[in-house]
């Protein structure tokens, strides 16, 4: 037996991601939203209707089966939708951030406004 059409199959995969890891309540399928997809994977954001925690799951279509991995997050659906579209940090961004927070006047600059 094959998978349903890939557009709907991420919803079918929700039966495997059925409990909130924070409070143990069952997820409601109407609180699951797709925020990214490609030919073999879908990224899904779930919100627990009981404790309002957030969970992100990646559902992969492997051959004739499914695989999934997920994690608890503090990002809302709006946050993850917006951030998913941004460019990743470059090594120069990371070096610049490191240099900024290690500058001797960094803490002073947070307290004193020009």
Mean pLDDT (whole number) for 18-44? 89
What pLDDT, on the 0 to 100 scale, is given for residue 5? 54
Cβ-count burial 80-105 (b if 16+ within 10 Å, e if not): beeeeeeeeeeeeeeeeeeeeeeeee
pLDDT in tens, 41-79: 889 999 999 999 999 999 888 877 788 899 999 999 999
* Domain edges within the chain: 6-87
Q: What is the band of 7 on the pLDDT scale with cuts at 50, 70, 90?
A: very low
pLDDT at 96: 94
Q: Which residue has the higher pLDDT, 110 or 90?
A: 90
């Amino acid at each position: 037996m094959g998978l349903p059409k890939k557009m709907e199959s991420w919803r079918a995969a929700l039966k495997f991601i059925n409990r909130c890891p924070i409070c143990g309540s069952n997820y409601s399928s109407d609180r699951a939203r797709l925020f990214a997809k490609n030919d073999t994977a879908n990224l899904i954001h779930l919100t627990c209707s009981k404790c309002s925690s957030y969970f992100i799951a990646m559902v992969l279509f492997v051959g004739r089966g499914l695989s999934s991995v997920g994690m608890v997050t503090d990002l809302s659906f709006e946050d993850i939708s917006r951030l998913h579209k941004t460019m990743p940090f470059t090594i120069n961004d990371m070096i610049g951030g490191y240099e900024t927070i290690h500058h001797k006047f960094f803490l002073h600059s947070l307290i004193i406004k020009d």
